[in-house]
Amino acid sequence: MKNPFRSDTWNHFSKIAYGFSTVDDCCSDSQKEDMSSFMLEFDGVGEPVLLQQIHSNIVLNVNESFNTKALMKADGFITNLPDLILTIKTADCVPVLIYDPANNVIGAVHSGWRGTKDQITSNAISLMNKTYGTIVENVEVIMGPAIKSCCYEIQDDVVSLFNHYPDSVVLRNGSTYLEQKKAIRYDLENLGVYKITDIDFCTGCRPDLLCSWRKQKTEKRLYSSIMLRS
């Protein structure tokens, strides 16, 4: 097991555990979940909660009545309950972890180009506000490893959806590329969220550490997880 990706900017948060897995701790998209080695990063007490990810902008609140085994169709979830390992699976899309340390509320989001243009991370923060009183000034966000504009070629249909985001569409040698995280950051800053950390590794460039659906046509998926400690 390689150490998961974390950031020094979140080192002072003692009430959460989180991490972005490397390819050594990944899973298959179709396979039954096996988080056994990655789970060790979560105090050995947490219960993994996953979604059936559908490239939507749907965000769910995980409360006492939520069926944590049901693989609900959504692409983000939030909770204030401890010992639930909110887990997103990606292989190029942006995994986003969210923390409100004032109210001790967490969130995790799967943001590919569809979720990004439909502002799923902002939806998650709005739901945190409605459900738990989160205010944007307190929100901290980490964007995990994802495919970057060095590797992410897009066609006109996607270009037209991102042209209004500064610097997110990149022209190079007659082709067009997308920098998804620029769009996510732009929307978050518009919302008033400025504490944004980027774990700036490209899934396409680093097969030694990560996996990329676009580069490798792989079934492998990386885990991105966050848990409140009890």
Between residues 148 and 182, which has the closer beta carbon with respect to Zn ion? 148
When binding is defined by CB under 5 A, the residue of 63, 150, 160, 175 that contacts Zn ion is 150
Which of the stretches 61-69, 108-116, 141-149, 187-195 binds Zn ion when contact is defined by CB under 5 A?
141-149
Asked if residue 40 binds Zn ion (CB under 5 A), the reply is no
Tell the residue number behind the tokens 């944007």, with chain if given: 136
Q: What is the 3-state secondary structure (H, E, C) of 105-171?
A: EEEEEEECHHHHHCCHHHHHHHHHHHHHCCCHHHCEEEECCECCCCCCECCHHHHHHHCCCCCCEEE
Asked if residue 124 binds Zn ion (CB under 5 A), the reply is no
Asked if residue 202 binds Zn ion (CB under 5 A), the reply is yes
Under DSSP, is residue 198 helix (H, G, I), strand (E, B) or coil?
strand
Asked if residue 178 binds Zn ion (CB under 5 A), the reply is no
When binding is defined by CB under 5 A, the residue of 170, 199, 205, 209 that contacts Zn ion is 205
When binding is defined by CB under 5 A, the residue of 46, 95, 145, 204 that contacts Zn ion is 204
Between residues 29 and 200, which has the closer beta carbon with respect to Zn ion? 200
Sign of the C-alpha dihedral, residues 50, 139, 124, 142? negative
Q: How many CB atoms lie within 10 A of CB 212?
A: 25
Residues near Zn ion (CB under 5 A): 148, 150-151, 202, 204-205
